[in-house]
Amino acid sequence: MKIAESRVSPKNTTTVPSAVRKALNLKAGDVIEWHVEEEKIVIKKKSQ
């Protein structure tokens, strides 16, 4: 289920969309993990 999209900048950065921040309850300083699963990217909030 798609809830948002973002674009990679020329400096290879991106912004975490508001809908994703809300869904994961992300706040400044939180760490997110990036996982590659076959052809998909999965982003998870890192457990403390």
Q: What is the pLDDT of residues 4-35, one digit of tens each?
A: 999 999 999 999 999 999 999 999 999 999 99
Closest CA to 1 of 21, 23, 27, 31: 23
What pLDDT sits at residue 48? 73
> Which architecture, in CATH terms, is 1-48?
Ribbon (2.10)
Identity of the residue numbered 42: V
**How confident is the model at residue 34, as a pLDDT?**
95
What pTM value is reported for the model? 0.77
- What pLDDT does 47 receive? 85
pLDDT above 80: residue 45: yes
Q: What pLDDT, on a 0 to 100 scale, did the predictor assign at position 1?
A: 85
> Phi and psi for 20 in degrees, rounded to 5?
-75, -45
Buried b (16+ CB within 10 A) or exposed e, 11-44: eeeeeeeeebbeeeebeeeeeeeeeeeeeeeeee
